[in-house]
Structure 1
Amino acid sequence: MADELDFQFGRVDVARNMASYYPHSLQPTLFGNVSLVRNRGRIGPPDNKR
């Protein structure tokens, strides 16, 4: 597998005031296998601070 495969899932719960996205990617390893890399983030402006 020469290139990465990127995709993401999203979740929005208005009742709990929560919005998240979960980007995933399939990336090749040094040994010729494929690895699933998962991240997590919040939807909205990055300067929302409390």
Structure 2
Amino acid sequence: MKSRTTRSKITKQQIYRSVASSTAIETGETVQKIEQNLKQYQAQAKATGLAH
């Protein structure tokens, strides 16, 4: 029999942190600044009806 593994739920916060840290390594900016920008752009996109 195969054993089943349980998957943890991936949150938006975890995705933002992952993208931000990867981008920070490439660009030299801080993770916090990039993460803040990602959240800001997402909020703007929702407000204008883009990228749902």
TM interval, shorter chain, is under 0.3
Structure with bigger helix share is 2
Q: TM-score, normalised by structure 2?
A: 0.24
